[in-house]
Amino acid sequence: MQKIYPDAAATLEGLLFDGMTIMAGGFGLCGIPENLILALRDSGVKNLTVISNNAGVDDFGLGLLLKTRQIKKMVSSYVGENKEFERQYLSGELELEFNPQGTLAERCRAGGAGIPGFYTRTGVGTQIAEGKEHKEFNGEIYILETGLVADLSIVKAWKGDEQGNLIYRKTARNFNPMMATAGKVTVAEVEEIVPLGSFDPDNIHTPGIFVQRLIKGEHEKRIEQRTVRQRENA
């Protein structure tokens, strides 16, 4: 099966439709599929439900899709750093399903593992628990959370081989691995494509069986918040 495509637009061809659900990997601006997000913007697909840890910033990452009003609903755990997100949510233009960060990660992992639901103590007694099933285990109350599955998962890895086996690097190994398993179709962008057999099987983070399409992208790797200090005099 040929998995390597020439560019992001070609990789998404035939996969997009209005009203679809998309998982987008990344943590802040680290490990986000920059090229695929741009291709989504340029495609004009709309009324999207996007499952992602966060929504990028105003002019980068998923913030670009908010700017063009292509996102109808966000399923997220962190929604700071984005004034357009705040404006749309407070004005009622954008739906938000808010999750504790660990719960969101486990919902994606569960969806990829075929687990429809699981119980967690996180969120008990808060607004997160409202309307959810409560159950007692060993004297403690837990709430039921559901696994998540997307029509399309877009992820970013450090390296990939010709069959879509992926290796992530440092912080980029965050939501990407679980989201790669939870999409009906998964498209990955990588910094380098290597020949099949280049990876030690023990070092592969996402097996190629989960990845249907692959591109090599150019990545800005923007820093979300740059913190510096004055250099001390010698």
Residue 189 placed within a domain: yes
Residue 156 placed within a domain: yes
Residue 234: its pLDDT value, please?
A: 55
Residue 23: its pLDDT value, please?
A: 98
Residue count of the chain, please give it. Answer: 234
184 within 8 A of 149, measured Cβ to Cβ: yes
Residue 131 placed within a domain: no
The domain in which residue 108 lies consists of: 8-118+147-216
Q: CA 223, CA 208: separation in Å to the nearest integer? A: 29
Residue 229 placed within a domain: no
Residue 133 placed within a domain: no
Residue 141 placed within a domain: no
Which one, of 163, 200, 157, 189, lies nearest residue 175 by Cα? 157
Residue 232 placed within a domain: no
Q: Is 87 helix (H, G, I), strand (E, B) or coil?
A: helix
pLDDT one digit per residue (tens) for the chain, 234 residues = 799 999 999 999 999 999 999 999 999 889 999 999 999 999 999 999 999 999 988 889 999 999 999 999 999 998 877 889 999 999 999 999 999 999 999 999 999 999 999 999 999 999 999 999 999 999 999 999 999 999 999 999 999 999 999 999 998 899 999 999 999 999 999 999 999 999 999 999 999 999 999 999 888 777 777 778 877 765
DSSP state of 167: E
Q: Is 35 helix (H, G, I), strand (E, B) or coil?
A: helix
Residue 28: its pLDDT value, please?
A: 85
Residue 18: its pLDDT value, please?
A: 98
DSSP 100-149: -HHHHHHHHHHHHTT--EEEESTTTTSGGGTTS-EEEETTEEEEEEE---
Q: CA 29, CA 42: separation in Å to the nearest integer? A: 20
CATH number of the domain that 28 lies in? 3.40.1080.10
Rg (CA), the chain: 18
Structural domains in the chain (count)? 1
158 burial (CB, 10 Å; 0-12 / 13-18 / 19+) is middle
Residue 127 placed within a domain: no
